[in-house]
Amino acid sequence: MSFNIQKIRNDFPILSREVNGHPLVYLDNAATSQKPKQVIDAIVDYYSNYNANIHRGVHTLSQEATDAYEAARKKLQEHFNAKYLHEIIFTAGTTHGINLVANGFAEILKKDDEVIVSAMEHHSNIVPWQMLCEKTGAVLKVIPMNEEGELILSEYEKLLSNKTKLVFVNHISNALGTINPIEKIIQKAHEYNAAVLIDGAQSCSHIKPDLQKLDVDFYVTSAHKMCGPTGVGILYMKESWGKKLPPYQGGGEMIAEVTFEKTTYAVLPHKFEAGTPNICGGIAFGAAIDYLNNIGFEAIVKHEDQLLKYATEQLLAIPGLTIYGTGQAKTSVVSFNIEGIHPYDIGTIVDKLGIAVRTGHHCAQPIMDFYKIPGTVRASFAFYNTVEEVDALVKAVQKAKMMLS
């Protein structure tokens, strides 16, 4: 498929609507992406034609739903290059996957073991580990960042020791757009036999990670960041860890045999998939993967990089505007403030002009504390955004500045 931006935009029904009397300019893709007709049609098709519970039924609808759901798992295995199909575990999203792993390590960590996170994590990759450390007596350590919004790897290496059991880092910062050097982070952690979990919620719409090449232990992401539905995601769990960690929840599907005397658990991936899953969500996730791969990630990255470069240049031409996150490796996120103006006020005015941006701390309050700011205006671009939409953003920000100064 050649990269035809207008043809792509035609696949997204919501992009043709108006907001406050203006054409919608959707620049909140880091929070959630919009959905193409191909994904919406997959959802409608499931509920219209073969809605049924999976894995347990012998009737035709159940078999069709099971086949479609497991076909989606296979697509995800191939997309992320997991070695085994059973290493792909369906979850309710990134946060669910992180908590699943944290729950498992509550049975493994001991007092004074050490856990490392980075200074630029989303709250969902901070709070579960704080809770884990409180429960086990383990110690939480933090990789610092510099003014450009990059992790200081020399300090990371100093934190590592034989006490380090777990390292957790996001692949891309949701607040800054920084692409972290996860290959080196994983390699260094493994030198101390520490496990690594990578939060891929922000990366998987821009990057196609090769999980075998990365040799990562756990990788989590959400479908709704990748043109799929909300309420579904995956946890990649290396097979060796899948055998070690205890189940996260008890219930149907995750069992092999149940008696009142003893229950034995199912094999992977079902060991971690208790209850009726988001069947439709999993199937639609597979449709979203097909859609993105049909466009091609090389084409997506090239287009988004052009938008990022152009938006950065145009916004920096506005006097008093500061961009946070200026590292060399970066994806299509621009977080900024204008001197003397609260980000919320800018966001409110640009919304009146039909432009959707995010304001606040973006569930990354430690980053805002580092910069000593209350939050930022964040414009995050996807492959269906255009240069003309960047121009509309810049014009709206200029108007907001004139009104608020």
Strands 195-199 and 218-222: parallel
Percent of the chain residues past pLDDT 70, beyond the cut? 100
pLDDT, tens only, 275-324: 999 999 999 999 999 999 999 999 999 999 999 999 999 999 999 999 99
Whether 133 is a known active-site residue: answer no
So where are the chain's domains? Answer: 5-30+296-399, 40-293
Rounded average pLDDT over 35-52 = 98
Annotated catalytic residue, options 204, 227, 280, 363: 363
pLDDT, tens only, 156-176: 999 999 999 999 999 999 999
Rounded average pLDDT over 341-345 = 97
- pLDDT band, residue 264 (cuts 50/70/90): confident
Q: What is the pLDDT of residue 241?
A: 97
Q: What is the pLDDT of residue 57?
A: 81
- pLDDT band, residue 265 (cuts 50/70/90): confident
Q: Write down the mean pLDDT value for the chain.
A: 96
Q: For domain 5-30+296-399, give the fold.
A: Aspartate Aminotransferase, domain 1 (3.90.1150)
Domain 40-293 has CATH 3.40.640.10: yes
Q: What is the pLDDT of residue 250?
A: 82
Q: What is the pLDDT of residue 396?
A: 98
Distances (CA, A) of 311 to 8, 323, 366, 376: 21, 11, 26, 16
> Would the pLDDT of 148 be above 80?
yes
The whole model's pTM is what? 0.95
- pLDDT band, residue 2 (cuts 50/70/90): low
> Would the pLDDT of 1 be above 60?
no
Q: Answer yes or no: same fold for 5-30+296-399 and 40-293.
A: no
Contact (Cβ atoms closer than 8 angstroms) between residue 170 and residue 164: no
